[in-house]
Each structure stands twice: as structure tokens, then as C-alpha cells.
Amino acid sequence: MMLILPDVLAAEQLAQCRHALSRAQWIDGRSTAGHMAAHAKHNQQLAADDPLAVQLGNLILDVLGVNPRFISATLPLKVLPPAFNRYEGGGNYGNHIDNAIRSLPGTAHRVRTDISATLFLTPPEEYEGGELVVEDTYGSHPVKLPAGHMVIYPGTSLHRVNPVTRGARIAAFFWVQSLVRDEIQRETLYRMDTAIQQLTREVRDSAALVQLTGVYHNLLRQWSQT
């Protein structure tokens, strides 16, 4: 399931991130790529241990921790700290699939990358190109969002970032290991939860709504992996 989450960052939070990143010390993005991906990756990143990356990553995690749509759609068990990249001057990232397992920096913990996420930090009018293109059985899906919006999509997806031919594209990216590993099960739970929330607003005192909520939790109990 590909899903766009609008206004993940409020205007003040977005301004804070952009101001901080305007003085960032960027490094060659290939330093964090796997053997195959390094040949396709042409961008810049913040080092994982850069204090600025840690500070802004914690801000994003705090925001997502209280974002009900993000929680409903991903059912997060583990979330890797957000990283930050920059594309300019023709920078791009060719077709690739993200590594299935990633290490949590500085620890022995590992995270299965069920869900990939990109949080756009640059307004689209400030750069040309730079679309995130996700491939699935229904075709190619280019994504270029307003600053502060985020897209999530299956970590199994073939995807790329088109060359940036004017300006600079800055984004945060990270991965989620979900309580529910299966993509179809996870999407089913999200759609059911969305329907329950809508019905709660429309028919709050319905016995059928109570039963449906129970079905949701029983499915989550059956499908979740902890």
C-alpha cells in the first residue's frame, strides 16, 4: 500500500528543519549504500552520527509517535531513526530495492524494512525533477509532494529518484518494521480501522460498531508478531 500523509510537520517544525539543514555538513551518499546500490546512488547525506541528524530525527519520531494515521497505517514495532539526503546538480538514485534488514546505529538491534518512508522537506517549486518513482504491479507512480508531506510504501518496492536538474531536493527517509509483517493483512487492518473511525463519528452508539472493533483487535492479535 502506498499512502500519502499530509502535513506531518507543522509549518513551524518544517521551518526549524529547513533552517537547521541550510547549515548542514553533507557527505557522499554512497558511503551508506550497499554494494549494488552504490553504483546507482548519486546524492549527499548527513552522517548517521551527525548531531544535527540525531536532533531532527528525534523531532520527526516525536511527531510520528502521535500521528494516528501513521500509526494506523504502519502499526510500528521498530522505527529506524530518520536519515537525511540532498539531491542537486543532476543527482539521482537509480532503480533499487532497499536492504531487507538494517542495523540500528550504535546498537546490536536489527530492523526488518517492511515499510519505506520519505518525508519531503523542500517545496516542489524550488527544484525540477527529483520525483520518487515507485514501481508495482499497477505501473510507475511518481511522487513529488509539498514540503512537510510524507509518503509510505512497501519496502519490497522497486523505486528510484529522478535526476534533480534545478535547485536542490532535501528529504528525510527511514524504515519501519511493522507488528504485522504481511502487506495485505496490514492494508486490511488499516482500511478497517479507517472505517471504524468514520463510523464512530457517525453512529457512535452502535452494537455493530462494537463488534466490528472487536473483529479488528482479534485480527490484529492473530496477525501481529512481537
Say what the pLDDT of residue 105 is: 77
State whether 73 and 134 are in the same domain: yes
Say what the pLDDT of residue 184 is: 97
> What confidence tens digit (pLDDT) does each residue in 159-188 have?
999 999 999 999 999 999 999 999 999 999
State whether 155 and 187 are in the same domain: no
> What confidence tens digit (pLDDT) does each residue in 203-220 have?
878 999 999 999 999 999
Say what the pLDDT of residue 33 is: 63
Range of the domain at 204: 183-223
Average per-residue pLDDT for the chain: 95
Q: How many residues are present in the chain?
A: 226
Say what the pLDDT of residue 32 is: 65
State whether 96 and 133 are in the same domain: yes
CATH number for 27: 2.60.120.620
State whether 174 and 189 are in the same domain: no
State whether 126 and 156 are in the same domain: yes
State whether 60 and 127 are in the same domain: yes
pLDDT at 35 over 80: no
State whether 167 and 131 are in the same domain: yes
State whether 112 and 195 are in the same domain: no
State whether 160 and 101 are in the same domain: yes
CATH number for 207: 4.10.860
Higher pLDDT, 104 or 125: 125
* Segments in the chain forming alpha helices (H): 11-21, 51-64, 68-74, 183-202, 207-223
- Which of 141-145, 161-165, 199-203 is least confident? 199-203
State whether 130 and 172 are in the same domain: yes
pLDDT at 156 over 90: yes
State whether 101 and 209 are in the same domain: no
| Residue 42 identity | H
State whether 30 and 85 are in the same domain: yes
> What is the distance between the alpha carbons of residues 177 and 129, in angstroms, rounded to a whole number?
30
Say what the pLDDT of residue 69 is: 97
- The burial class, CB within 10 Å (0-12 / 13-18 / 19+), for 136 is middle
Backbone angles phi, psi at 79, to 5 degrees: -130, 125
Higher pLDDT, 36 or 67: 67
- Which of 26-30, 111-115, 168-172, 220-224 is least confident? 26-30
Q: Closest by alpha carbon to 186, among 3, 5, 62, 61?
A: 3
Say what the pLDDT of residue 95 is: 96
For the chain, what is the domain count? 2
Dump the DSSP string for 198-222: HHHHH-TT-HHHHHHHHHHHHHHHH
Instruction: Pull the grid cell for residue 165.
Output: 536538474
> What is the distance between the alpha carbons of residues 83 and 194, in angstroms, rounded to a whole number?
29
